[in-house]
Structure 1
């Protein structure tokens, strides 16, 4: 993934995750782990969650997905077994526009992120959450 794509993904997630107190971690292929109880090293915490809930195992809940059509950005978010693990799919990525094609494409991106575990951005908002 190029730096331009990483910056684009970071910008999209910043627009989508508008809660000023939510910390999150972005992985190389567009998967974002939202940390509802951030503690310690956020990259390590998110990596642990994605290591467990990112890889796809056929016939298990890890293979399930949902597709959210975005209002604040072009594209979709693909959900999975863990509510705080979300994968962005851009409008130019899937060849087909059906929910199944988008979901399978997003699930494959989540699988890559869940096995490669390459963090590209950490959004640490703990200071903002503490000031409320």
Structure 2
């Protein structure tokens, strides 16, 4: 999924919340409940700590949530504000285990590369 399409998916998911968020290259989004200063830097700090997978620890755990309207799935992990999107056409195996492992792998890639592709600044003073 290209970045523009992924941004639109996240806008549909998070739009009603009014929260600021930062999207990373492989589809991981960090929702900033208390946005301050440089949002990309703040989100990178969170993802750098909570994105990389350490199998056998809570960093390897995940849950899979099915989205409405054929938007795919969300894969959550051990930080409540770090969530990864998996599109319908990504996993070869549509089981929740395969989707979860795929999403967890994407979160690991984002947590180690920390390549920000979009910042959605919803702070009242953001203009």
- The TM-score, its normalising length taken from structure 1, stands at 0.91
**d(CA) in 1 for partners of 2:61, 2:53:** 9
Residue correspondences, number: 126
1:25 paired to 2:25: no
Provide the alpha-carbon RMSD of the alignment. 1.5
Shift of 1:38: 0.3
1:63 aligned partner: 60
Shift of 1:72: 4.2
- The equivalences for 1:1-132 within 5 A come to 5-19=2-16, 21-127=18-124
Shift of 1:18: 2.2
Q: Which runs of 5+ in 1 are unaligned?
A: none
- Deviation sequence 1:9-60 (CA, Å, 0-9, x none): 1000000002353000000000000000000000000000000000000100
Shift of 1:127: 1.2
Shift of 1:73: 4.3
Large movers: runs of 4+ above 3 Å: none
SS at match of 1:18: helix
